[in-house]
Structure 1
Amino acid sequence: MTKIKFVALFSCLMLILLTACNTNEKSSIKLAEVTRSLFYAPQYVALEKGFFEEENLDVELQTTWGGDKTMTALLSDGADIALVGSETSIYVYTQNSKDYAVNFANLTQTDGTFLVAKEEHPEFKWKDLNDSIFLGQRKGGMPQMVGEFVLKKNNIDPHNDLELLQNVDFANIPGAFVSGDAEYVQLFEPTASVFEKEGKGHIIASFGEESGNVPYTGFMAKQSYLKENKDEAKRFTRAIYKAQQWVEENSAEEIAKVIQPYFEDTELDILTTSIQRYKDQDSFATNPSLKEEDWENLKEIMNEAGELKEDVPYDELVNTELAEEVANE
């Protein structure tokens, strides 16, 4: 073999090896979650079961505590991907943001709150809320919009037929319910089950069951990130899909055991009960693809709440390409 041919062959081999090495390099992703919630169980499963590591991803999770703060982190590059309510992407889009956030993987497909009452209501009907004091969630957020949507669906005007309280911060709602005059409150798990176990309240209805399928919480990233980091985003989506399938196929108790490190102050039986509630009402999406009919339901809920300033087409803010690709592999 001539020296020139040898050098050429050697160069080709080195190029192949370098390409393979680059493919195997671990990518880092900064992930911001809007709050620490049992509702996001599949995400914690993906972390604890090593599904991100299998995709050669080093995911750094931070809890940003609130939709506004989460979106600020995403838009300012403090996070690459955000787990937050899909309504926030609409708010950003309608502010004429140039590099707006796009929903590319859905995580939860129903509302995650429950109606909790101070007294037992063995034969509860939604009309029982008339003339009551109801402690709701923050105005403009998905829990509150869904809450009002469900009340209206049951012929209750939330601003005239009852006393609706919306002036309490999210973190302080449980304490305000216990110490205040409110007869009803809208709570997430595991707080709702903890209250029931401690005799502080009784779960009497599900807002998730009443409101139907909606892209309640999902993963989004800026347009520029998805364009420049398509491979990383696809591997991220594949890890989430693996976790969604694992959650679907395993018991609530097994899921609780896996994610307990993220909820050290909550007993295993409460975690198990809460997860089972969510599984029973199909809250956890089994596929990361965000359906158009669910998006339309989201817009209807926002419109009923007076928060949809303009129509936002599904094709503008939803990208199902990655989700469909990993689901069809």
Structure 2
Amino acid sequence: MNVRSLRLRLLLVFMVLFTSNSVWAENKKIVLSQLFQSVMFLPVYVALDKGFFEKQGLDVSKQTAGSPNAALSAVISGSADFSLHGPEWTAIAASKGANVQIVAGVVNRAAVWIVGKPDFHYKDPADFKGKTVATGLMPIASTSLLNKLLQENKASDGVKVLQVQAGSELAPLLAGQADAAVVYEPGVDQLVAKGMKVIHSFPQQYGPYLLSAITTRKDQDPETVLGFITGLNNAMKFMHEHPDVALEVARKEFPTLEPDVVAAAVKRMLDEQVYPESIAISPKSFEVAMQTQIALGNLKEQPVFDQLIGNTFIQNALSTAATTH
């Protein structure tokens, strides 16, 4: 064998090995179906932007479904691997036989606030009497929380609840057609920037409350589930250690919003512990969230924690994080 032939063979062997390694190293493509694009879901966006999923061998892309039913249906049908929305929708689907489970918490507080006019004198829900409150069209968590607040305080009579398309709750308040609005961030700080004031904080009222979570099928590949939630958990830890970087990601995800509004929204949710420090789901936060849905008639009974929450996955991800830091 001459030198030229030997070099050619070595080159072919190298090319085969290189190609094979490239295939082996290719990340698994994963689809996350989110309810909507929201600053509440910043932990997911940090995980995407800063490569936390890639480090777990996953190439994750997000799609916006527009409704919780559509997001969850994508998982059930197999067109998405994970979905992000309120846990009550997973509970309802599971009660009807859907093979789904919750594998990570994302929003750890009832991240909804009531914002009123500057001259709205508010001490308790009785002060809503004779007022108009703008809120999202049901079914939506913000309106569920408002209704529960009014019902529990026997304050429903005399209150005009103006339901509008989700995301447009600010308009009636700014136009003078409502005295208050029930909103998520960044709507809260958009209104504050225009002179309105926060009159009620549901995060402060409830404390730990599982508002939004990651759902997947029970037959999803276990390694994929563990990799996804481990990446998400690591992103949560990172954003609490580096809030300035988290803010950079938020501004990138919401380029049309005023930078000061984004900064105020992220700060409010860090201060009020809306962004959890881990994916852990406590039985109490789950129970409180489900009680809201039961009180409103959306659920018939309290779901069994261990049947709906994939806690083994969660604990494994937390253990992995503990051993790598």
Q: TM-score, normalised by structure 2?
A: 0.86
**Partner residue, 2:113:** 114
Pair 1:203-2:201 in alignment:
no
**Partner residue, 2:34:** 33
Distance in 2 of aligned mates of 1:33 and 1:170: 15
Assess if the C-alpha contact under 8 Å between 2:113 and 2:200 holds in 1.
Answer: yes
Secondary structure of 2:167 counterpart: helix
**Partner residue, 1:16:** none
Taking the TM superposition and a 5 Å limit, the aligned residue runs for 1:1-329 are 24-97=25-98, 99=99, 101-121=100-120, 124-153=123-152, 155-158=153-156, 160-166=157-163, 168-179=164-175, 181-199=177-195, 201-225=196-220, 229-251=221-243, 253-329=244-320
Assess if the C-alpha contact under 8 Å between 1:133 and 1:182 holds in 2.
Answer: yes
How far the C-alpha of 1:180 sits from its partner, in A, is: 5.5
Distance in 1 of aligned mates of 2:168 and 2:75: 26
Q: Encode CA deviations 1:104-153: one digit per residue, 9 max, x unaligned.
A: 01111111111111234476443321221112233332222222233344
Question: Percent of aligned pairs with the same residue?
Answer: 20
Assess if the C-alpha contact under 8 Å between 2:121 and 2:127 holds in 1.
Answer: no
User: CA separation of 1:92/1:123 partners in 2, compared to 1, >3 Å: closer, same or farther?
Assistant: closer
Distance in 2 of aligned mates of 1:280 and 1:222: 33
User: CA separation of 1:91/1:123 partners in 2, compared to 1, >3 Å: closer, same or farther?
Assistant: closer
Distance in 2 of aligned mates of 1:324 and 1:198: 44
Could you tell me which runs of 5 or more consecutive residues in structure 2 were left unpaired when the two chains were aligned: 1-19, 321-325
How far the C-alpha of 1:297 sits from its partner, in A, is: 0.7
Secondary structure of 2:278 counterpart: coil
Distance in 2 of aligned mates of 1:25 and 1:264: 31
Distance in 2 of aligned mates of 1:173 and 1:123: 19
What is the total number of aligned residue pairs between the two structures?
303
Q: What is the identity, as a one-letter code, of the residue corresponding to 2:197?
A: H
Q: What is the identity, as a one-letter code, of the residue corresponding to 1:169?
A: Q
Assess if the C-alpha contact under 8 Å between 1:46 and 1:240 holds in 2.
Answer: yes
Distance in 1 of aligned mates of 2:49 and 2:173: 34
Q: TM-score, normalised by structure 1?
A: 0.85
Assess if the C-alpha contact under 8 Å between 2:113 and 2:198 holds in 1.
Answer: yes
Q: What is the identity, as a one-letter code, of the residue corresponding to 1:297?
A: V
Distance in 1 of aligned mates of 2:277 and 2:154: 33
How far the C-alpha of 1:22 sits from its partner, in A, is: 7.8
Distance in 2 of aligned mates of 1:131 and 1:156: 14
Distance in 2 of aligned mates of 1:323 and 1:129: 41
Secondary structure of 1:284 counterpart: coil
Q: What is the identity, as a one-letter code, of the residue corresponding to 2:45?
A: Y
Secondary structure of 2:292 counterpart: helix
How far the C-alpha of 1:275 sits from its partner, in A, is: 0.8
Distance in 2 of aligned mates of 1:265 and 1:247: 22
Q: Encode CA deviations 1:29-72: one digit per residue, 9 max, x unaligned.
A: 01111011111111111111111111121001111111122122
How far the C-alpha of 1:184 sits from its partner, in A, is: 1.1
